[in-house]
Chains A and B, each alone.
Chain A
Amino acid sequence: MITILGVPMQALFGQLLLGLINGSFYAILSLGLAIIFGLLNIINFTHGAQYMMGAFVAWMLLNYAGLGYWWALILAPIIVGLFGVILERLLIARLYKLDHLYGLLLTFGLALIIQGLFRNEYGVSGLPYAIPSELSGGQRLPFMFLPNYRGWVVVASLVVCIATWLVIEKTKLGAYLRAATENPTLVQAFGVNVPLLLTLTYGFGVALAAFAGVLAAPVYSVNPNMGADIIIVVFAVVVIGGMGSILGSIVTGFTLGLIEGLTKVFYPEASSTVIFVIMVLVLLVKPAGLFGRTA
């Protein structure tokens, strides 16, 4: 067997792939957080819970409605996104005139409620969700065995991230969004329905989180705590990358996932803290974040 620095190549690439998958989730989640923060000026602490809801809705669709993975991939983000729209209209919209620490506290409370309800109903041991039959099996590459599903997760995430970037940078809707991020009052004066734009943006950010949740369901089991664990890492990713740039969020997410995967191979003890350590280093060297604009 070929080894690199004393590590079997299969194990190395296997972990790198897993790192890339985690990186996809970091990228999608931090992208959603950045879009929501840019326009709503709120850090969505519920983001992790909404990612978890995406996975659970996929599981429910399968077990209660008999709808498989591909339906879930479309329906779960829509359902969870609508839930987000309701939250925004009923609760979050009341806080826009206040300091953003209240938004953080409100969404933190919502995350506690949602996670608590799912824990009560489904326990914490996790529910299995099978890989769709079309994507079972894998490819034997010269240097590793690539499970089809894992490859699909990385490709699908990249496509969604790039599509989001294109929508925001190249379409008229995206132009409204960017304008409203810069100056909502002026955009409203031009006749754009800014409150509606805010609601849709929140719903879209939440739908992105749910999409990541559906992708994650077959890789990790469906667990009420899956969102709480990942959201804090995503916060660190956001601090590292800065929320000023969409492409920045995507690149930072994937890169940090890869670094985490590499750490798992060479120094597993540090794998859970490596992203936080990188955050500390970035704060020391470039406090505004790698892609951040100084406020």
Chain B
Amino acid sequence: MAHSAAAADAAPIATTGLPESRDARALHRRVFIGIAVMLVVLPFVLYPVFLMKVLCFALFALAFNLLLGYGGLLSFGHAAYFGMASYLCAYAAKTWGVTPEIAVVIGTVTAALLGLVFGALAIRRQGIYFSMITLALAQMVFFFSLQAKFTGGEDGIQAVPRGHLFGVISLADDRVLYVLVAVIFFAGLALIYRIIHSPFGQVLKAIRDNEPRAISLGYRANQYKLAVFVLSATLAGLAGSTKAIVFQLASLTDVHWSMSGEVVLMTLVGGMGTVFGPILGAFVIIAMENYLAQFGAWVTIIQGVVFVVCVLLFREGIVGLFARLLKKPL
């Protein structure tokens, strides 16, 4: 398989390959300020619950893109971490009656542990096999959730209490909860940006672009891959836990393979391997689903069409396109 070996050597995704100049840093600072301003202004324009949904999924997509865009690893089973975190968070808040921040931590830690186990298994194979393994492991989690007692089977865990943050601040009001979700999202984004631009992130990119060379330079590629896998799963879990508190619901939808596909789609539309792309991708896809909800099954078909069109004609994604036009990585 000479040609497959050649394909494996090439960088898996169309990165812009643009240098990280001081100029780019300044631009990123402005984008961060812009996002912060949007987080403050948008709830006065758009429905807060819709915005919270977008923020949860944006964080999920950011976490996924950390693995795909910077680790070069396409996980097709990220719903497992999102969904299991959502279940555990909902269960802790409802059955154990813990405060929401503890519930979110429980959910996130669950996702981290699951990511550690699944990541260690999946990185034993490369390329296409990695994707198939993550998908199969996630399907195992789906069947587990379907049969386990605590998940409530087909009903899921409903009427999860939003509770009082730190036991003091009631989250029943959507506007109060929005502030919490916005803070979690922004902290998650800042953390991911930090990871990508740290020495660790640079090594990750080296492994993504040429694994044998990175190994020959003395980097333990598998440890880096596992670390980024766990980080990605943890942040996906943070998103899933937050989602459970916002919608007061954890259900089989969250662990289904179609959820794994959706987060891939968000990242693809926004721009794989761009820092900010997944946020825009999540916004576009969630807005599209809300708008098209009345058409029922057509949503799946349209998602499929978006997949096909993006892969064939628009592989750089929305933010990737901007980055190319501005000649700066975004």
- Interface pick from B43-51, B91-99, B125-133: B125-133
B314 to chain A, nearest CB (A): 12
B contact residues around A94 at 8 Å (CB):
312
Known: A100-B7, A182-B1, A280-B121. A117 touches B308 (CB 8 A): no
Known: A232-B139, A272-B143, A273-B144. A112 touches B126 (CB 8 A): no
B contact residues around A182 at 8 Å (CB):
1-2
Known: A41-B4, A99-B13, A283-B121. A232 touches B307 (CB 8 A): no
B128 to chain A, nearest CB (A): 5
Bound-state Cα–Cα, A81 to B70, Å: 38
Binary CB contact string for chain A from 58 to 100 against chain B (1 if under 8 A, 0 otherwise): 0000000000000000000000000000000001001100111
For B, the interface residue count at a CB cutoff of 8 angstroms equals 51
- Interface pick from A103-111, A149-157, A165-173: A103-111
B3 to chain A, nearest CB (A): 6
A287 within 8 A of B: yes
Q: Is the CB of B128 within 8 A of A109?
A: no
Q: Is the CB of A110 within 8 A of B147?
A: no
- Interface residue range, chain A: 35 or more
Bound-state Cα–Cα, A123 to B308, Å: 24
Q: Is the CB of B132 within 8 A of A91?
A: no
B contact residues around A91 at 8 Å (CB):
308, 312
Contact of A277 among B2, B140, B310 (CB under 8 A): B140
B contact residues around A106 at 8 Å (CB):
307-308, 311-312
Q: Which of B10, B13, B124, B304 has the most CB of A within 10 A?
A: B304
Bound-state Cα–Cα, A117 to B129, Å: 29
B contact residues around A100 at 8 Å (CB):
4, 7, 127-128
A contact residues around B140 at 8 Å (CB):
273, 276-277
B contact residues around A228 at 8 Å (CB):
257
Known: A109-B307, A116-B301. A284 touches B121 (CB 8 A): yes
Q: Is the CB of B301 within 8 A of A276?
A: no
A290 to chain B, nearest CB (A): 13
- B106-160 contacts to A, CB under 8 A, are 121, 124-129, 131-133, 135-137, 139-140, 143-144, 146-147
Bound-state Cα–Cα, A196 to B140, Å: 39
Q: Is the CB of A104 within 8 A of B131?
A: yes
Bound-state Cα–Cα, A115 to B299, Å: 12
Q: Which of A95, A104, A117 has the most CB of B within 10 A?
A: A104
Contact of A181 among B1, B126, B131, B312 (CB under 8 A): B1
A26 within 8 A of B: no
Q: Name the residue on B nearest A295 (C-beta).
A: B126
Binary CB contact string for chain B from 6 to 29 against chain A (1 if under 8 A, 0 otherwise): 011011110000000000000000
Bound-state Cα–Cα, A13 to B227, Å: 47
Binding site for A on B (CB under 8 A): 1-5, 7-8, 10-13, 74, 76, 121, 124-129, 131-133, 135-137, 139-140, 143-144, 146-147, 257, 261, 264, 268, 296-298, 300-301, 303-308, 310-312, 315
Q: A98-B315, A277-B140, A280-B121 provided; 9 other pairs, C-beta below 8 A?
A: A102-B311, A109-B305, A109-B306, A110-B308, A112-B301, A184-B3, A235-B135, A272-B146, A283-B125
Binding site for B on A (CB under 8 A): 37-38, 41, 43, 91, 94-95, 98-102, 104-106, 108-117, 119-120, 181-185, 228, 232-233, 235-236, 238-239, 269, 272-273, 276-277, 279-280, 283-284, 287-288, 295
